[in-house]
Structure 1
Amino acid sequence: MPKAGVPGDGIFLVGKDIQAGTYRSEGKNKYGCYWARLRDTTGEDSAIIANGNAQGPAIVKVAAGDRAFQTSDCKPWKKIA
């Protein structure tokens, strides 16, 4: 069963590791909160659907059609919708 939150840094498969939906983070831990919605997990730039660097609070809608969600150095992401 996918989690209703994002458990930390890494790449998480939508539908396996995390649920599709809208997530909120309070922002960066230390340097800057990076996030990306991914169409695949190849690591290529073409895999990025959308991404950002948040200093403060961030909201991201992870779609059911996204393959994965990547995050690093963010405070915990909590599912809000």
Structure 2
Amino acid sequence: MAGLVAGLTAVVPGPPAHAQPMDPIPGEGFFVVGPDVGLGLYRTDGTASAFGVWINDVPTQGSMCVWFTYSTPGPDKDHVVATNMSIGPMYANINPTVKAFETHNCQPWVRVT
């Protein structure tokens, strides 16, 4: 039995493989630039809602696609670099000053440049 135990070797897992940034970026979530998303110009086809709710010819906020870019890697609204909301197609520029990207109720974001 001692010979059998001596012949066993421990398998120690190495560091996880570096994941590639997402492309497309899902239309819902908070993402850190670098490990989650890469730099570039991204486009969405707009809202992911199956239908919109309109009040006085204006879509409600819950019917719209909205995104934010941040100068820090956290979702602190005091550090918003840019934001936009729409029911239609939009672009978001994730440039070197951007540290995080947040998106809600959008179709996937595809990198165009």
TM-score, structure 1 length as denominator? Answer: 0.89
The alignment partner of 2:75 has SS state of coil
Residue number among 36, 46, 50 corresponding to 2:82 in the alignment: 50
The alignment partner of 2:78 has SS state of helix
Identical amino acids, percent of aligned pairs: 28
State the distance in 2 between where 1:35 and 1:16 align: 19
Cα distance, 1:42 vs structure 2:
4.0
Q: Mind listing any 5+ residue stretches in structure 2 that lack a counterpart? A: 1-19, 50-62
Correspondence 1:13-32 to 2 at 5 A: 13-30=32-49, 31-32=63-64
State the distance in 2 between where 1:13 and 1:6 align: 11
Give the number of aligned pairs: 81
Correspondence 1:1-80 to 2 at 5 A: 1-30=20-49, 31-80=63-112
The alignment partner of 1:8 has SS state of coil
- Structure showing greater radius of gyration is 2
Structure having the higher helix fraction is 2
Greater CA drift, 15-24 or 40-49: 40-49
**Which structure ranks higher in relative contact order (CA pairs < 8 Å, sequence separation ≥ 6)?**
1
Structure having the higher strand fraction is 1
Deviations 1:26-51 (A, max 9, x none): 00112110100111244332111010
Cα distance, 1:3 vs structure 2:
1.8
TM-score, structure 2 length as denominator? Answer: 0.66
Coordinate RMSD, CA, aligned: 1.3
